[in-house]
């Protein structure tokens, strides 16, 4: 008789995988009313960003971030909410606190059930639909049969989709497969490799390191293109190194144990070289942590309703079903990793434009009710080389979760969403309302009463007039106006030159001109007028108000992500609220000729604030938002105001 307890569960949406894509997918759907079960095979959430692996989350900010009030490419929505929370609550940059914050985000959602240490191991089909999955939790001797209307595979390795029989792609496609100029002449099964990271700390006395006999041995020639011990970036001594990579010539799933063992030998061999052979002044440095879970870059990629390609990214092809955007370079690595010391550890092809990620690349080609989000989405190897980074995966996850929730309301299966323009429009407008950014998409919500108001302010700067809070866009993405065709060559060479000379050639990725909508897209009060500063919305006829939403400036042009690299963190406003953000404000409503206090907020550091009134206010002639203080700036900034009845 088995000791395993079997339990049947039911939900609207089953999300498999608790990395950044899965977490954002599950939270987005739960907040919109769907009953969600999130199944994660590890004890913590966050995937490659978790305390088990500790890779920092990067995305469309690319290698050189953006430009103040001209280019703000950092992802919004849920991933911005998480980053802002971490910046304030985790000044010590603890990886364990990162895990805890993600756990808290999930625990806060009443519609979300979290199953940690639980793995989806099978799928039962009903024709071309998934009827239920089997998930097992060995630590408690439990087996779950989970039925759902919709499923989302955010596992990275694509376990759920593979069990459900979705066709997959592996390795590098040949040039003829999709007409991609950067593709090799002939395809193969080689992938990007995996990495084990380490952390080190400087002590007040010499700290010897004795290498185990099984570590790799290196020579200075092995590091000609793989720098270490450099300040000002993520190549210092305290945290390293993404280029410690291996296993791309093997099966990253089936050969995972062998890859881990070899990577441990490689990583400790690199540290042995630094400590005992490099000649650097590192006598007082010692290892503080080394990962035992490799950060995996690539395994399965699904075939969806659309396969995203290199050409889609370089041309910034506009997709009517776009649910997210990206902008990281097309960043390929030699499959051999450190076994190819004469090859650069990466080849980074700069993208001139931000690009769309269509929902159809997140919907199975042969299953009616399966989404996917994260690094297993439907993309060629080259397109994946950009979409794979975690902030982009998080944005895609929020897009998929939002699509699932609204499709559930409409009674539409995932496979049919792309054929329903009205539903797609609602999905995209909802994403904007939740502070996601979509290229060329502006607020057209007919329920937003702010769009019908006259907006004035106590003061304003040129270009930052009060009416900008209803411009329909909440960021500037037009750039410097100097962006042209993508420069050829490997941008990693630019990074190496910067390390040698201290001078960087900043390459920026902007919105394409026909979808940029140039402008500041926010109200900026006049610093000379000081604070308080007031913004007022007035309607031709009184309205009823139940909800007010404010979007503040959080410096989306900057890097902002938890990182164990000191040099990278120095480029951020970490350990504090973002200085542009409004800290204290007061909301008042004019009813029957008199101003009535509605709400006062203090110590705000969030970008999106939603104020739902206990009871709707009727007969409101005007709303007034008074900014009392910011977190550093000498003037007020509000990107958007929305009002709902």
- Domains of the chain (ranges, CATH numbers): 5-166+310-433 (3.50.50.60), 194-296 (no CATH), 449-477+518-644 (2.60.120.260)
Q: What is the mean pLDDT of the chain?
A: 96
Mean pLDDT computed over 168-191: 97
Cα–Cα distance measured from residue 39 to residue 18, given in angstroms and rounded to the nearest whole number: 7
In this structure, of 497-511, 557-571, 593-607, the range with the lowest mean pLDDT score is 497-511
Average pLDDT, integer, range 111-120:
98
What pLDDT does residue 482 have?
59
Predicted pLDDT at 1: 85
The Cα–Cα gap between 405 and 99 comes to 26
Contact by Cβ (8 Å): 534, 628: no
Task: Give bridge partners of residue 168 from the DSSP assignment.
Answer: 302
pLDDT for residue 483 is more than 60: no
| Angle, CA 329 vertex, CA 267 and CA 170 arms, to 5° | 70
Distance (Å, rounded) from C-alpha 100 to C-alpha 349? 35
HEC string for 97-130: HHHHHHHHHHHCCCCEEEECCCEEEEEEEECCEE
The burial class, CB within 10 Å (0-12 / 13-18 / 19+), for 586 is middle
In angstroms, rounded to a whole number, what is the distance separating the alpha carbons of residues 130 and 148?
Answer: 8
Taking only the tens place, the pLDDT of each residue in 301-355 is 999 999 999 999 999 999 999 999 999 999 999 999 999 999 999 999 999 999 9
Contacts of 170 (CB under 8 A, 6+ apart): 189, 191, 299, 300, 301
Grade residue 497 by pLDDT with cuts at 50, 70 and 90: confident
Q: Are 372 and 317 in contact (CB under 8 A)?
A: no
What is the mean pLDDT of the segment spanning 277-284? 96
Average pLDDT, integer, range 541-547: 98
Q: Please give the angle made by the CA atoms of 279, 284 and 288, to the nearest 5 degrees.
A: 110
Q: State how far the Cα of 595 lies from the Cα of 620, in Å rounded to an integer.
A: 10
Q: What is the mean pLDDT of the segment spanning 241-248? A: 98
Q: What secondary structure letter does DSSP report for 514? A: G
Q: pLDDT tens digit string along 30-44?
A: 999 999 999 999 999
């Amino acid at each position: 008789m088995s000791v395993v307890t079997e339990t049947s569960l039911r939900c609207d949406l089953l999300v498999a995988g608790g990395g950044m894509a899965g977490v954002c997918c599950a939270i987005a759907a739960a907040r919109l009313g769907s009953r969600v079960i999130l199944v994660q095979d590890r004890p913590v959430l966050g995937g490659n960003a978790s305390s088990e692996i500790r890779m920092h989350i990067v995305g469309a900010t690319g290698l050189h971030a953006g430009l103040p009030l001209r280019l703000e490419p950092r992802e919004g929505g849920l991933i911005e909410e998480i980053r802002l929370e971490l910046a304030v609550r985790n000044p010590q940059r603890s990886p364990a606190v990162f895990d805890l914050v993600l756990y808290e985000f999930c625990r806060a959602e009443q519609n979300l059930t979290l199953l940690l240490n639980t793995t989806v191991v099978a799928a039962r089909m009903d024709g071309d639909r998934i009827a239920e999955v089997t998930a097992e939790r060995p630590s408690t001797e439990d087996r779950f049969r989970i039925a759902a209307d919709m499923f989302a595979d955010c596992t990275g390795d694509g376990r759920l989709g593979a069990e459900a029989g979705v066709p997959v792609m592996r390795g590098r496609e040949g040039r003829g497969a999709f007409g991609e100029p950067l593709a090799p002449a002939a395809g193969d099964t080689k992938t990007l490799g995996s990495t084990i990271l380490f952390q080190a700390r400087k002590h007040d006395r010499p700290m010897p390191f004795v290498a185990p006999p099984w570590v790799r041995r290196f020579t200075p020639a092995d590091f000609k293109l793989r720098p270490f011990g450099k300040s000002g970036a993520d190549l210092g001594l305290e945290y390293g190194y993404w280029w410690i990579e291996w296993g791309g010539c093997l099966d990253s799933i089936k050969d995972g144990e062998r890859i881990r063992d070899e990577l441990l030998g490689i990583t400790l061999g690199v540290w042995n070289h630094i400590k005992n052979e490099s000649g650097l002044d590192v006598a007082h440095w010692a290892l503080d942590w080394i990962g035992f879970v490799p950060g995996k870059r690539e395994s399965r990629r699904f075939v969806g309703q659309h396969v995203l390609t290199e050409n889609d990214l370089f041309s910034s092809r506009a997709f009517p079903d776009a649910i997210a955007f990206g902008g990281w370079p097309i960043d390929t690595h030699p499959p051999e990793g450190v076994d190819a010391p004469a090859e650069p550890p990466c080849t980074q092809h700069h993208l001139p434009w931000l690009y769309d990620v269509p929902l159809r690349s997140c919907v199975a080609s042969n299953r009616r009710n399966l989404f996917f989000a994260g690094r297993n989405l439907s993309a060629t190897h080259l397109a994946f080389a950009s979409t794979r980074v975690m902030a982009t995966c998080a944005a895609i996850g929020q897009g998929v979760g939002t699509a699932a929730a609204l499709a559930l309301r409409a009674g539409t299966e995932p496979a049919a969403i792309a054929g329903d323009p009205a539903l797609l429009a609602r999905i995209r407008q909802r994403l904007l309302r939740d502070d996601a950014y979509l290229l060329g998409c502006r607020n057209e919500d007919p329920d937003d009463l702010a769009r019908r108001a006259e907006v004035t302010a106590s003061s304003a700067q040129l270009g930052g007039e009060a009416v900008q809070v209803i411009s329909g866009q909440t960021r500037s993405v037009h750039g410097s106006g100097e962006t042209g065709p993508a420069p050829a060559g490997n941008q990693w060479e630019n990074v190496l030159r910067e390390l040698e000379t201290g001078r960087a050639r900043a390459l920026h990725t902007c919105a394409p001109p026909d979808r940029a909508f140039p402008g500041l897209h926010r109200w900026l009060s006049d610093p000379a007028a000081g604070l308080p500063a007031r913004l007022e919305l007035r309607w031709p006829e009184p309205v009823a108000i139940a909800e007010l939403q404010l979007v503040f400036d959080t410096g989306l042009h900057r890097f902002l992500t938890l990182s164990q690299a000191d040099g990278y963190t120095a480029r951020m406003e970490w350990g504090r609220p973002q200085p542009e953000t409004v800290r204290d404000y007061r909301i008042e409503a004019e009813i029957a000729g008199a101003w009535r206090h509605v709400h006062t907020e203090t110590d705000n550091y969030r970008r999106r604030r939603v104020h739902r009134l206990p009871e709707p206010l009727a007969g409101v002639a005007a709303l007034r938002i008074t900014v009392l203080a910011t977190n550093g700036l000498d003037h007020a900034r509000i990107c958007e105001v929305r009002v709902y009845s």
